[in-house]
Amino acid sequence: MKIAIVAPMDARTGISNYSETLSIELIRLGEDITVVAPENSQNSVLLNMGMNYVEPENYEVDDYDLTHFQLACSPLHEYQLHIINKHRKKLLKNMNVVTTVHDARNFDLFNIKCSKCISFGINLPKYPFYPHDVVDKGFHSISNRLIFHSNSAMNEYKSRYYLNSNTLRRVLHPAYSIPGVNTVYDPVNETEEIRFLAPGYISPFKGHDILINAVSKINQDFKLIFMGKILDENYGEYLKKLVKKEGLNDKVEFLGFVTEEEFIKQINRAKIILIPRLTSSWLNNQPVFKLRKIFGLHYLINQSTSGVLTKALASGKPVICSKSQGFSDYIDESRGIMCDDDVESWRNAINYMLLNPNNVTEMSLNSRKFAVNELSPTNIAQQHLKIYKEHR
């Protein structure tokens, strides 16, 4: 089966790792895979396996048995809307178009930079225009199947857009590794400092300042490490000033954007992984955020899961995360703690991990076991292949 996987091969989006892992496993299953992206993958395993690469301007619908798009709220994905706009008539006629909805949340114009994409979304028929659905409805218009990484994301999306259940599928996010080599459980080295790691881009819609406030009253030896690009420089300065104000310069560290290999290395070094989905109080005084409120977009409906979450499980790490329903298919009390949206809840969870090392070890083993049994890339690729063949 000739399959085009349309996804950016850019380290700034975790979806590149998802698509690389899926491509590797599909090739191993005997499928003919082409990645359609502005840049080629740098994954040496994938390149050595004979994956094909096509630039977006050279993509043609009829060259493939199936096209698989990736829906995410990032300017890195705008080129996919350009493809849909250019090839929409042929895609509508083609009965094999699948889209994975990675970010099942309320989209909005503030995340779309391209005027061509905005115009395309506004002028699409079938759906009424709201500021949050420009991206979504572009993919709805051409997809025969929508894949989600959690039941809550699938159900919320179905209700929001009145979608037919027959077109929706739930497939767990693979516990992939970088670059293409399975991560092996690395037992905690008790002689090293206790590291709480918050991986992924740093945004006021994740609320890293709440984590800083949470640890400010904890009198234990530990490190809180933020690893990822700071999306808003002003928010970054606010966080660093808060660290200084709370006297946490020796306990809080910002690593910034790191390579894929370093990303996994840091996850392996960490004792606990933190995955917040919080809204920073810093936003309340920001002009753009005030404008968002006018449209009812001052909060995010976010039932999405996270590639960082599955990396943590693959590395055998307990997870402290927000009570996002998108995480509930992956995290329970045997593998971590889900927190309310307040400082005290996060402080209590971090304290619990510090004071109960035996339970942390048990959670670590359970995380790795769950990843091996439920998030196997090979099994998940087989589930994708079954969906691909439904319309053939």
Question: What count of other Cβ atoms lies within 10 Å of the Cβ of residue 271?
Answer: 23
Question: What count of other Cβ atoms lies within 10 Å of the Cβ of residue 370?
Answer: 20
pTM given for the model: 0.85
Same domain, yes or no, for 106 and 242? Answer: no
Same domain, yes or no, for 244 and 143? Answer: no
Q: What is the pLDDT of residues 223-256, one digit of tens each?
A: 999 999 998 899 999 999 999 999 999 999 999 9
Q: What is the pLDDT of residues 377-391, one digit of tens each?
A: 999 999 999 999 986
Same domain, yes or no, for 363 and 385? Answer: no
Residue 54 lies in a domain: yes
pLDDT value of position 140: 79
Check if the beta carbon of residue 97 is closer than 8 Å to that of residue 69. Answer: yes
Q: What is the pLDDT of residues 302-313, one digit of tens each?
A: 566 778 899 899
Q: Angle at CA 370, nearest 5°, toward 5 and 20?
A: 20
Q: What is the pLDDT of residues 71-113, one digit of tens each?
A: 876 777 788 888 988 998 898 887 789 999 887 654 555 566 6
Same domain, yes or no, for 70 and 81? Answer: yes
pLDDT, average across residues 196-214: 92
Higher pLDDT, residue 37 or 105: 37
Residue 260 lies in a domain: yes
Residue 385 lies in a domain: yes
Same domain, yes or no, for 225 and 115? Answer: no
d(CA 236, CA 233): 5
pLDDT value of position 112: 66
Residue 188 lies in a domain: no
CATH code: domain of residue 245: 3.40.50.2000
Same domain, yes or no, for 79 and 152? Answer: yes
Domain limits for position 352: 195-374
Check if the beta carbon of residue 171 is closer than 8 Å to that of residue 380. Answer: yes
Same domain, yes or no, for 382 and 355? Answer: no
DSSP E strands in the chain: the ranges are 2-6, 32-36, 52-54, 66-71, 97-101, 145-148, 168-170, 195-199, 223-227, 252-254, 272-275, 319-322, 336-339
Check if the beta carbon of residue 279 is closer than 8 Å to that of residue 83. Answer: no
100: amino acid identity, one letter: T
Confidence bin at 130 (pLDDT 50/70/90) = low
- Cα-Cα-Cα-Cα dihedral sign, residues 291, 295, 298, 302: negative
Same domain, yes or no, for 243 and 131? Answer: no
